[in-house]
Structures are given as C-alpha cells and as structure tokens.
Amino acid sequence: MKNELFENLKELFLPLAALVAVIVLGFVAVPFLFDRIGILQEELAGVRADESVLRSRLQVLNGFATGAQSTSEKMILAFPGENSALSTISQVKLKAALGQVAVSGIKVGKGNTEGNISYADVDFDVQGPLTSTLAFLESLKKSAPVGSVREVKVTGIDESVGKSTITYRVYWSPFPQTIPSILAPLTDFSGEERDIIAALTALEVSGQTAVTANPPQTRTDPFGI
Amino acid sequence: MKTNINLLPDALRGRSDFARFSNYLRSAAIIAAGGLIIVGLLSGAYMLFLTSSIASAKSASGQVQDQIESIDTVEQQFILVKDRVEKIKPFLAARDSGDNIALFNSLVGSLPAGVKINDAEIEVDSIQFTFTTPDSRDLIGVFGTIAKGDLGSVTIENFSFNSTIGYVVSVVIQLK
C-alpha cells in the first residue's frame, strides 16, 4: 500500500510541477512583456508628437518665407535694437521741411526701461498753424522708427503762426540672442499680430523721400547803401 | 489480511483517482503553456511592430528637421519679427496724444465764433485749454459743445472776468 501511494504521488509530481512552472513563468513574463509594450507605446506617442510639432513648425516657416527678408528688415528699422532717438530726429527735421513747419529746440531725454523695452522722450518746438502742426505729427507717426506723441502744449492757436512744444516718445529693445529649441511649438502670427506687422512695415524710412536744400539767399544790404 | 487483487487486464482496469487527477494536471499544464506561448508570440509581434513604427516616425522627423535646418535664415527672421511684435504690442495699444490733437482740433472748430483759445495742453489722458470770450452766452456754447462730445469729465480750473477781454476760463477735460 505504501508503494502504491508513492507511485501515485510520483505520477502527479511531473504534471503538477509543469503547471506550477508555467504559472510562475506567466506571472513573471506577462507583466514584463506588457510593461515593455507600454514603454514602446509611450516612446511612439512621444516621437509622433515631436514629428507633429516639427511639421507644424515647417508649415509656419514656409508660410512666412515669402517676403521674410524684407519684412524682417523693415521691422528692424521700425523697432530698432538700439536707441532710436537719432533716427527720430532725422525724421522730425525731414517731416518738418515737407510739412512747412519750423522745428527748433530738439532735446533727447534720458533712456528708460520698462520690462524688456526701452524708450526716450524727444522734445522739440514746432512753429506753425495748428492744422499744419497736426499734419506734421500725423506724418511723423507714419515714419520709422515707431513712436508716440506723449504731450503737446499749444500757444497762439488763433494766430496764423502758433507754437507747439511736443514730447515724442521713441522705443527700442535688444534683439533676441537665442532661438527656441526646434522641438518647441512655433505658433503662427495671429490676426492682431499681422495687423501690427502691416502697420510697422508700412512706416516710412528716412531717406525714402529726398529733401532738396534751399539755395543760398541774396543778402539784403542792411544799411540801404 | 485482505489483499486487493484485480485479475482484470490493465486495459479493462478502471483508472484510479490519482491517475485521473494527474491527467487533469497534465492537460492544464499543456493549455497554460500553450496560452503563455501564444501571449508571448503576440506580444513579441506587437513589440516588433511598435519598434518598426518608432523607427519610421524618427526617420520622418529627421527629414522634417533637415528641411527646417535648410531654411534656418527664415527661422531666425521669423523669431526676430515675432519678438518685435510681442514687445511693441502693449505700447501700440496704449492711447496716443496724437489722437487727442485731432479731437481737440475738431472741438476748436465747433466753438462759437467769439471764443478765442489762448493755449492748450494735450496729453495722453487729458486736454487742458484756456479760452477767452467777451460774451457770457458763448460760455454756454462752449460747455454745450464739450458736453455734446461725450469726452469725459470736465473741470473748470479757473474762471475770471477781465473788463478788457471778458471771461477767461481754464478747462480740463479728463478723457474716457
């Protein structure tokens, strides 16, 4: 009887051992396989996301490529990287000559910085009727570099020749030194930004309109001799 | 002592419980092993597919990256223009005194004929001016014109009378 029991147990041992081995292998191998699959799926999603970002970036750049050179040059002139007061003074004199108003007492204030943008106030006096002064300021605002009228003090408005003291603010900001990573999303210009680009690239650059110098005037004899 | 003797041949002899159970275990082990092999084969095939897809996507990304690098000048110009626009945007949106000059000019043109503007100071948020008139009725006309414009709040800074020139009034309009 003892022998029979031993024989029976021997008969059970192999299949039982095999089953246990398969179960243990399953508990070890299957999670490993699924884990590995999960890692690969994550990697694939990441690579596809990068590809999407790159394609979007390429599309934006291809859309901008036409006229990119001209646009960037005009934007630099409109909003320079360094103090633009001298360019503004040049425009003030040019526009005054064209607008037939007299400009004097040009002074440039100290540069200030607000955030990542710098500005300075250019003060000057304009002699002429208010309507001519208005037209002069309008033409100045349409000139590069970009600026804004901060204050106008007008005297003698009803006289044929009035006088205005104007404070005109000019802006500049250093250019970016680095380009964002190629994998960083690049968004195209919004409608509002395109309007700003159109407005800034339309600003007249000094030198586009020639101003002829007045010829020497005959000096009258002050003594009447 | 009783001894179990079975004279039947093995083929006709019935299987013992142990033997039956042993068969069940054997079948279970075979099924489990088969299942594990199938899972392993399918997982392996799927991992091969994923690996291939990753390689393909990386290759496509590489090609796009090469195209971007070939237009790096355009990229620099784009970044520059984007930088300029983002920095100047808040300042362009701010009110400009130049707009107020046209407003003031329009106001001056609407005033009664007897009113004389002496001087004005036009700033970003306000217009201050001094006027004279010999006729008190013109005062009503001036303030009526200002009120029609819906410009903002109006403050009289100075109000005096001069027997030679008439009324001298300084007004400050705080624009909306």
Chain B nearest C-alpha distance from A208 (Å)? 22
DSSP letter for each residue of A149-174: EEEEEEE-TTSSS-EEEEEEEEEE-P
Q: Is A112 exposed, middle or buried (0-12, 13-18, 19+ CB in 10 A)?
A: exposed
Predicted confidence (pLDDT) per residue in A179-195, tens digit = 899 999 999 999 999 99
Structure tokens at B1: 């002592």
- In total, the C-beta contacts within 8 angstroms joining chain A to chain B are 211
Q: How far apart are CA A197 and CA A186, in angstroms?
A: 17
Residue A4 is predicted with a pLDDT of 67
Structure tokens at B26: 């054997």
What is the DSSP-derived secondary structure letter of residue A219? P
Residue B12 is predicted with a pLDDT of 55
Residue with tokens 């002699």: A127
For residue A200, name the pLDDT band (cuts at 50, 70, 90): very high
Q: Is B116 on the interface with A (CB under 8 A)?
A: yes
Mutate: best of B69, B81, B91, partner A, most A CBs <10 A: B81
Residue B47 with chain A: CB contacts under 8 Å:
33, 36-37, 40
Closest CA to A153 of B129, B116, B146, B131: B129
Residue B165, amino acid: I
Question: Across chain A, what does the average pLDDT equal?
Answer: 86
Question: Three-class SS string for B8-65?
Answer: CCCCCCCCCHHHHHHHHHHHHHHHHHHHHHHHHHHHHHHHHHHHHHHHHHHHHHHHHH
What are the residue ranges in chain B where pLDDT is below 70?
Answer: 1-6, 8-16, 95, 97-98, 150
For residue A212, name the pLDDT band (cuts at 50, 70, 90): very low
Q: How far apart are CA A189 and CA A216, in angstroms?
A: 52
Q: How far apart are CA B151 and CA A192, in angstroms?
A: 27
- What percentage of chain A has pLDDT greater than the value 90? 59
What's the average model confidence in pLDDT over A86-93? 92
pTM here is 0.75
Residue A223 pLDDT more than 80? Answer: no
| Cross-chain CB nearest to A171 (options B22, B88, B96) | B88
| More confident: B143 or A130 | B143
Residue A214 pLDDT more than 50? Answer: no
Chain A nearest C-alpha distance from B81 (Å)? 6
What's the average model confidence in pLDDT over A110-125? 92
Q: How far apart are CA A46 and CA B72, in angstroms?
A: 24
Residue A199 pLDDT more than 70? Answer: yes
Chain A nearest C-alpha distance from B138 (Å)? 17
Contact assignment for B22 to A79 by CB distance below 8 Å: no
What's the average model confidence in pLDDT over A20-35? 94
Residue A135 is predicted with a pLDDT of 85
Residue A208 is predicted with a pLDDT of 44
Task: Produce one character per residue of A91-100: b if its CB has 16 or more CB atoms within 10 Å, e if not.
Answer: bbebbbbebe
For residue A210, name the pLDDT band (cuts at 50, 70, 90): very low
